[in-house]
Amino acid sequence: MMSIVDFLKKLFKKEPITNSSKEMPQNEQIYQETPSKEEIETHIMSIWDVIKCNEHTQAYHLVSVIPYDEWIDMDEIRRRIWDLFQIEYINDRSLYPYLKTMVDLGLIETSNIGGKRKWRKKDLLIKLEEKAKKEEIKVSQPIQTSKA
């Protein structure tokens, strides 16, 4: 039987650390080359092109009818929803939480002039950068099939 002392010696015995186990292969590089400005394509898009709401939801209805260039009140929002979707909200207060959330996120602006609230979309632009793809034309040999 192994004594407790031998067991503890084996447990706490330090093994020499070799560099061979920690070396990186020569073909791997630590640093990647940064692409030059000519290789990066930039696209400027509106955030409304990226954000997609689930169809047939109150948020989708609101995003669809609120414009960028004019302030509209709740009566106009309800009328436009009726014109586009033929849906009438009996209690227009159900739309306010969605409007408030979009205002809190900074997607929609609000104004309260003369005791009437009005809303409009903010035109937020985002800049997307992508690496340009180098297109190479390769001439390949036609594949020959054998008929058995």
Question: What pLDDT, on the 0 to 100 scale, is given for residue 108?
Answer: 94
CB-CB contact of 72 with 120 (8 Å): yes
Domain assignment present for residue 2? The answer is: no
Contacts of 53 (CB under 8 A, 6+ apart): 59, 60, 63
Least Cα distance to 101 among 142, 59, 42 occurs for 59
Question: What pLDDT, on the 0 to 100 scale, is given for residue 16?
Answer: 57
What is the domain-level CATH number for residue 69? 1.10.10.10
Q: How many domains does the chain have?
A: 1
Domain assignment present for residue 73? The answer is: yes
Domain assignment present for residue 114? The answer is: yes
**Per-residue pLDDT tens over the stretch 115-129:** 899 999 998 888 888
Domain assignment present for residue 5? The answer is: no
Confidence check: pLDDT of 104 > 90: yes
* Residue-range definition of the domain harbouring residue 69: 38-129
Q: How distant is the alpha carbon of residue 77 from its chain centre?
A: 28
CB-CB contact of 109 with 120 (8 Å): yes
Question: What pLDDT, on the 0 to 100 scale, is given for residue 93?
Answer: 86
β 116-121/108-113 pair status: antiparallel
Domain assignment present for residue 1? The answer is: no
Domain assignment present for residue 82? The answer is: yes
How sure is the predictor about 114, in pLDDT bands with cuts at 50, 70 and 90? confident
Least Cα distance to 47 among 103, 119, 110, 122 occurs for 122
- pTM, two decimals, is 0.59
